[in-house]
Amino acid sequence: MPTRSTEVVIAAHNLKKVYGDFVAVDSIDFKVRKGESFGLLGPNGAGKSTTMRMMSATMERSEGELMILGLDPKQDSPQIRAHLGVVPQQDNLDGELTVAENLYIYGRYFGLSRAYLKPKVEELLDFAQLQEKRNEKVEALSGGMKRRLTIARGLINQPEILMLDEPTTGLDPQARHILWDRLFRLKEEGVTLILTTHYMDEAEQLCDRIIVMDNGRIMAEGSPAALIAEYSSKEVLELRFGSNKNAESAKKLAGYGDRLEILPDRILIYCTDAELVLEKINHDGMKPLTSLVRRSSLEDVFLRLTGRTLVD
Amino acid sequence: MSSINRQVSRWTVLRAVEHRLLIQKKWFASILMFGIGNPTIYLLSIGLGIGSLVDSNTTGVDGVKYLTFLAPALLASAAIQSAMTETMFPVMAGFIWAKTFFGIRSTPISGKQMANGVWISAILQVTFTTGIYWIILWLFGAMDHKGSWLSLFTACLGGLAVGAVLLWIASVIDHDDGFLAIINRFVLMPMFLFSGTFYPLAVLPLYVRWLGWISPLWHSTELGRWVSYGHSVSGRLIVIHFLYLFLWIALGLKLAQARFEKRLAK
């Protein structure tokens, strides 16, 4: 895998986006380095997609500074877009064209020649595993196939930065794993990846560095391991005593780990050695209905930082 | 990382035209059938039927046989119909139905160039279908004067005037609530009926004649009759007809370009 460069490809300072009275992105600062896989995490409405659209030079910022590949999108948005690959949340492929034609015509918008595009389309059809569907209209494809085609389309101009807005939302597990494999290959080739996602396992799999956003602000920043170390514990013990008994049992569990979280259906004990804590609990005579020992995950960090309130 | 040329060309607009043409190629058989079938049916029923009735009872209309009088108006309305299809459908597909414009927006193309791309491909398509219409009219003997071929251009001018404004209107619509049907029934159909298509506008009473005066179809038809068979019209009115149609084009395009830019930056 190519070593990551220290060269900054995107730099945002006090970046802000306002719609009327609503502040979608609230004066955030971050940098993305060349070859890095950079993730934006956050609940719905956190400002991830708005940040992504400003980074993809398709939406103007309200305030602050933003430099992409050394250029300011306020002045040079077409020049910046020539270097980017963008995979939007919605596939927005052309349903009147075939799979291969979708790739071809998208490439033409970048001013790419027919001689370049002919082999490139073949290469991307292989990459997206869509050779057999090349002459079919897009409408005939499954959701996973459409997503792979949209990602392939984003690669037609050999982008220096590939931006993916929730690349696997709505896909079944098989399709997600195929996509992860494709994205990991790009990462290995040194393409700078920027992605937003709801899926913590996706972020852990693909991202070198993450920012967690909520209400338009950055709540935390770091590698998945560093975020877990800072905002969670090494392990988590999940205990179920029965829905009516969780709160009562929790009182007896105080002091067993670093931190305790009581959920409607279970109790989470954040600790360094979950097996040891479970042993102690059993030894002290408490009998949970079920117990689960697991490694602490990014999801624990995410929920701690952004809360467990449902956001529509 | 790569050696591909990333220079942003000022001709990116042509890529949008290429995109439209690639789609139109798939519809070529339908376009051709409609282009031939529509005027043929019209001419067989209204042109020849009503024409023979009018010509057998009078000395024609406006000093020429009825079909010759009718032909520039039919040609102009065909151009308007084609312009409507070629501006409204791609814009509705791009912004609402398939949202393809939002995908294309991630390439170096600007909103203004995207609007211009739809517009330029509409010019090509309108010229093509109106050209077929003209040939059918000629085969039916409706284009039997020396200057008749010039009515192709005045018809296209009328079509593109309406097309430019529809390009803007389609870019403003946020939801498709049967908007195309509304435009068809409440704008295009009255325009067709009250623009001096089947009879001279002067026949209508003054309180409805204004509908013709504001209609691009009437201006285009008047110009078409003037170039085709020398319909009597003052020099001042000729200038007004041209200016009016160019005004619609300039205004429609300007508004559409601004709207495309704004909508795609959301």
Domain chopping of chain B, boundaries: 10-264
Whether the predicted pLDDT of B142 surpasses 60: yes
Q: HSE on the CB side for A218, CA within 13 Å?
A: 18
Chain A residues within 8 A of B1 when measuring between CB atoms: 158, 160, 190
Q: Is residue A183 in some structural domain? A: yes
CA of B262 vs chain A CAs: smallest distance (Å): 10
Q: Is residue A147 in some structural domain? A: yes
* Same-domain check for residues A238 and A186: no
Inspect the interface and report whether the beta carbons of B1 and A82 lie closer than 8 Å. no
Chain A residues within 8 A of B26 when measuring between CB atoms: 96
Q: Is residue A305 in some structural domain? A: no
The answer to whether B105 faces chain A, any CB pair under 8 Å, is: yes
Which of A234, A227, A289, A185 minimizes the C-alpha distance to A39? A227
State residue B3's pLDDT score: 62
**Apex B105 CA angle, B100 and B110, nearest 5:** 125
Give mean pLDDT, residues B55-69.
82
Q: Is residue A310 in some structural domain? A: no
Give mean pLDDT, residues A6-24.
94
Q: Is residue A2 in some structural domain? A: no
Whether the predicted pLDDT of A310 surpasses 70: no
Complex-level ipTM beyond the 0.90 threshold: no
* Same-domain check for residues A74 and A117: yes
Inspect the interface and report whether the beta carbons of A88 and B23 lie closer than 8 Å. no
State residue A4's pLDDT score: 53
Q: How far apart are CA B158 and CA B77, in angstroms?
A: 8
Which of B100, B189, B65, B263 minimizes the C-alpha distance to A105? B100
Question: Which carries the bigger pLDDT value, residue A162 or residue A197?
Answer: A162
Domain encompassing residue A252: 233-296
State residue A312's pLDDT score: 45
Find the CB nearest A81 among B19, B103, B106: B106
Q: How far apart are CA A157 and CA A84, in angstroms?
A: 8
Longest Cα–Cα distance in chain B = 80
Chain B residue whose CA is closest to A19: B266
Chain A residues within 8 A of B109 when measuring between CB atoms: 78, 109
* Same-domain check for residues A188 and A106: yes
Give mean pLDDT, residues A200-214.
91
Query: For residue A139, with 0-12 CB atoms within 10 Å meaning exposed, 13-18 middle and 19 or more buried, which class applies?
Result: exposed
State residue A309's pLDDT score: 53
Inspect the interface and report whether the beta carbons of B107 and A116 lie closer than 8 Å. no
Contacts of B198-207 spanning 24+ positions with Cβ under 8 A? B198/B46, B198/B50, B198/B70, B198/B73, B199/B61, B200/B61, B200/B62
Give mean pLDDT, residues A27-34.
96
Give mean pLDDT, residues B197-202.
87
* Same-domain check for residues A285 and A171: no
Inspect the interface and report whether the beta carbons of A111 and B18 lie closer than 8 Å. no
Tokens 């050394």 appear where? A70
Whether the predicted pLDDT of B168 surpasses 80: yes
Inspect the interface and report whether the beta carbons of B103 and A157 lie closer than 8 Å. no
| CA separation, residue A4 to residues A155, A188, A208, A256, B32 (Å) | 20, 10, 10, 41, 57
Task: Give the list of residues 6+ apart from residue B5 with CB closer than 8 angstroms, or none.
Answer: A111, A112
Instruction: Evaluate whether A15 touches A60 at the Cβ level (below 8 Å).
Output: no
**What is the number of domains present in chain A?**
2
Q: Is residue A18 in some structural domain? A: yes
Chain B residue whose CA is closest to A35: B1
Whether the predicted pLDDT of A1 surpasses 50: no
CA-based torsion, B87, B89, B90, B96: positive or negative: positive
